[in-house]
A and B are shown apart, each in its own frame.
Chain A
């Protein structure tokens, strides 16, 4: 994992827990805003990622574009005020390792579009803070930062 681009932060996932930083477990880059603020205690993080390094796809694959469209079209709207934040999980400037949706209360996780790529695991977490959801329709990433983070 190389230098962090502006707007990115490290997050580690060992299959059971999430930790800020690069270890222990698999290291991802997330939208830094999700970890930069007053955390929501006891939030529910739906982690659609695996600890296996082989679980990786290009951000530009059509299916990875489509789940971002689905998030904008209906997933974020369905969550409403329950949403704390959402971030994709980047491995570097071009590769997708998953996504995390964080809510205040449990929701119908079976509807999570990101679970179509990698299966979801529910993790209780005190790490994440409230971030305004992406406005859309932009699904591209800004300077390699995990969508929807970053800006020019």
Chain B
């Protein structure tokens, strides 16, 4: 599957952190999206990075943009992790690794958990990929500034009255 900028990201169908069935397009709700694939709650790098993303939610909440995290953690584990972070955005749960293989995002070095490879995408409201980030090395992940820049670029492109 080609996950390069300009390509359409698949409309993921997964349960959220409450166990409710969700689709990525429904969660996007017509807004730009920061989509983060995460190894799981146990990884110190994920904990650190998601704390940074959670700190950014105060801007997303007033800026008509969404944050979505996908991991192999079960919904109830995600709910606990989300609460610990203080996050108010959606986590999507893929313990069966149903989308992991289709997206070709297997973290091959972790043969114990077989998690998602840390990867991030910023998406237009129609799920077209704006930018992609390979976070296998921590410094490859989008920083708060990267996400602000991408959300600004997407918003300026899709909001008619953005000047």
Contact = CB atoms under 8 A, between A and B. Distances in A.
Interface residues on B, range: 20 to 34
Contact of A137 (B17, B20, B60, B83): B60
Interface string A120-152: 000000000000110111111010000000011
Given A132-B26, A135-B89, A76 B66 contact: no
B159 interface: yes
A50 interface: no
Main secondary structure of the interface of A (DSSP, over half): loop
Nearest to A69: B88
Interface residues of A, number: 19
B52 interface: no
Interface in B20-38: 20, 22, 26-31
26 contacts: A69-B61, A69-B88, A72-B88, A73-B83, A77-B17, A77-B79, A77-B82, A80-B19, A81-B20, A133-B18, A135-B27, A135-B29, A136-B66, A136-B88, A136-B90, A137-B67, A137-B88, A137-B89, A138-B31, A138-B60, A138-B63, A138-B65, A139-B61, A140-B62, A152-B30, A152-B31
Interface of B: 17-20, 22, 26-31, 57-58, 60-68, 79, 82-83, 86-90, 159
